[in-house]
């Protein structure tokens, strides 16, 4: 995933101060006290999860560990929902049903953080053996998910309702949420009145970022095969060169962004892979081009898809080549947060963490399949929590400052204690704020 880092000033500029009732002060203090007290347990869980990541739909060890911990807390737990997903339900009288999601999967890449608990795990991915690491913070998410669950259990006398805590597989390939839904998530288990999820982000630890409306992007993958007629590199007139067709497409497709899309709307077309040919003096028969398309609005999404298709066909037609094979793979849809729920939760976050540490922030340009649950008509909020030393974040924001590792970097290394504590506190408060009391 790739997007821009935003300065503290930019985030502060988006701040608002809604007027909503606050949670009782003793309850907020109690949440903080309990999370602090349980942190040694969370630290052990976190480092174990970090050292033993599993890739999409292979999260059997991870799921088993989470399921065991939730059973100890008193939840009714069902495993293997959507292949490797976990659903944990706790009923505590009449009141709203609230879903809390964590993701579980790691990424097929090598960790280079040098941490004493760094992953050295290998697994098969797409038919090849690869290192696996939690370089997107899902280990932070799982630890804070458990922390929130335990906090809410310890505070059962303070709320009424039903908790549905789900551990979702395969977020990184945008398949796990759909798999759980297709396996009867909202039919076999209570359908939520509200849903929450969080994501660690390269912000200062102790901070929480959020917004209403779109907070992630639509995602579409392209796999195009440009066809030609192979031949000798010394006699290109005897062939139809698919490499030049692909090259023309890679350059010309950017005019869809610069000349067709409304410049005020977000949209990206990135070509990440071109595969064709074997040696320098042979013109191949075909070239494979892979890329990604990102957007926020459905209208922009449709325009980009149509424009990319048209440019691909035109690039081939200009060379007198056969029409290319065009494959579009739909990924996650944009997460659209409920404005009412965000406003209600924002008031609690700003009161608990301080106005400077709980701020509105721009949507991320990456994608997330939490939108699958949201699009079932569930008022939802997806928010972000910081993971880095505040001094390092400030330094990175300065011109020429040392950059900090972004999600999916082999050097991605959250500072565990303040990151997990803030995430667990924020999620506990968000859920308590909508449960009956």
Annotated binding-site members: 136, 138, 172, 199, 408
The alpha carbon dihedral of 344, 345, 347, 352 has a sign of positive
Measured CA to CA, the distance from residue 73 to residue 41 in angstroms comes to 13
In total, the chain counts a number of residues equal to: 437
Annotated binding site for Mn(2+): 136, 138, 172, 199, 408
Contact 169, 63 (CB under 8 A): yes
Q: How remote is the C-alpha of 92 from its chain's centroid?
A: 30
Cβ(66)–Cβ(191) under 8 Å?
no
CA distance 424 to 429: 9
Residues pairing with 79 in the sheet: 86
- The torsion angle over the Cα atoms of residues 421, 427, 429 and 431, rounded to 10 degrees, is -160
Place of tokens 């704020």: 433
Strand segments (E) across 276-319: 282-283, 286-295
Instruction: Let me know: does 49 contact 65? Beta carbons within 8 Å.
Output: yes
Bridge-based pairing of strands 161-168 and 85-92 is antiparallel
DSSP string covering 281-292: TEE-SEEEEEEE
Sign of torsion over alpha carbons 188, 189, 190, 195: negative
Return the closest-CA partner of residue 246 out of 328, 325, 331: 325
Measure the CA–CA gap between 315 and 165, rounded to whole angstroms: 49
Question: In 52-131, where does DSSP find H-type helix?
Answer: 60-72
What is the number of other CB atoms lying within 10 angstroms of the CB of residue 5?
14
Q: Quick one: tokens of 430?
A: 């968000």
Q: Token pair of 298, please?
A: 């459905």
Question: What is the residue whose two structure tokens read 């009161």?
Answer: 351
Coil vs helix vs strand at 360: strand
């Amino acid at each position: 995933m790739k997007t821009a880092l935003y300065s503290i000033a930019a985030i502060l500029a988006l701040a608002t101060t809604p007027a909503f009732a606050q949670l009782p002060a003793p309850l907020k203090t109690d949440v903080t006290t309990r999370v602090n007290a349980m942190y040694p347990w969370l630290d052990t869980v976190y480092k174990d999860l970090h050292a033993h990541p599993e890739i999409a739909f292979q999260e059997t060890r991870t799921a088993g560990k989470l399921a065991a911990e939730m059973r100890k807390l008193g939840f009714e737990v069902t495993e293997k929902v959507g292949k490797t997903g976990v659903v944990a339900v706790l009923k505590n009288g009449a009141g709203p049903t609230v879903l809390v999601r964590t993701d579980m999967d790691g990424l097929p890449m090598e960790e280079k953080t040098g941490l004493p608990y760094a992953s050295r795990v290998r697994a098969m991915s797409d038919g090849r053996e690869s290192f696996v690491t939690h370089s997107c913070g899902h280990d932070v998410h799982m630890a804070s998910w458990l922390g929130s669950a335990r906090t809410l259990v310890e505070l059962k006398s303070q709320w009424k309702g039903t908790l549905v805590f789900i551990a979702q597989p395969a977020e990184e390939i945008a398949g796990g949420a759909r798999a759980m839904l297709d396996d009867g998530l909202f039919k076999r288990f209570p359908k939520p009145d509200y849903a929450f999820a969080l994501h660690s982000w390269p912000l200062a630890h102790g901070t929480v970022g959020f917004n209403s409306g779109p907070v992630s992007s639509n995602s579409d993958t392209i796999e195009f095969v440009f066809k030609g007629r192979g031949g000798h590199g010394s006699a290109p007139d005897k062939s139809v060169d698919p490499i030049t067709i692909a090259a023309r497409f890679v350059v010309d497709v950017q005019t869809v962004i610069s000349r067709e899309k409304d410049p005020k709307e977000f949209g990206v077309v990135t070509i990440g892979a071109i595969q064709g040919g074997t040696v320098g003096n042979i013109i191949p028969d075909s070239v494979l081009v892979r890329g990604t398309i990102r957007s926020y609005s459905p209208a922009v999404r449709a325009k980009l898809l149509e424009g990319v298709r048209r440019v691909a066909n035109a690039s081939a037609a200009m060379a007198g080549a056969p029409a290319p094979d065009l494959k579009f793979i739909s990924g996650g849809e944009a997460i659209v947060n409920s404005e009412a729920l965000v406003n209600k939760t924002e008031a609690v976050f700003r009161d608990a963490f301080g106005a400077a540490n709980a701020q509105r922030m721009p949507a991320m340009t990456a994608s997330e399949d939490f939108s699958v649950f949201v699009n079932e008509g569930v008022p939802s909020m997806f928010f972000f929590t910081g993971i880095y030393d505040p001094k390092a974040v400030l330094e990175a924001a300065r011109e020429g400052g040392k950059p900090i590792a972004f999600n999916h970097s082999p050097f991605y290394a959250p500072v565990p204690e303040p990151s997990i504590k803030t995430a667990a506190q924020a999620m506990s408060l968000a859920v308590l704020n909508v449960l009956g009391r």
